[in-house]
Amino acid sequence: HAILRTNFYSGWHGQPLQIVYRHKSPSFHYQDVRGREHAVAEFVVQDKARGFDLSKDALMRVSVFRTGESSYRFVWSFHHIVMDGWCLS
């Protein structure tokens, strides 16, 4: 989808500019955190603090953490410009 390859610049002649790239790598993170019970919670705190730079960051980030032999945690971070509360239902 085009929105997953999009960034927004605010300095173009005083007007916002939407750029849709032909190719842009998605933001995906995988980590095995078995035995480290607070690793996912720490990641979530850091991820929220990181925020999004609309001019260069992927506007949606996906992270998967292996927490056990057959259990995983999924963290889905996105900017409000891509999705809002109405989209989640």
pLDDT band per the 50, 70, 90 thresholds, residue 88 = confident
- Tell me how far apart the alpha carbons of residues 76 and 65 are, in angstroms, rounded to a whole number: 11
**14: DSSP letter:** T
pLDDT-wise least confident of 50-54, 60-64, 76-80, 81-85? 81-85
65 SS3 class? strand
Model pLDDT for residues 5-60, shown as the tens digit of each residue? 999 988 778 888 999 999 998 889 999 999 998 999 999 999 999 999 999 999 99
Beta-bridged to residue 15, according to DSSP, are 12
pLDDT of residue 2: 86
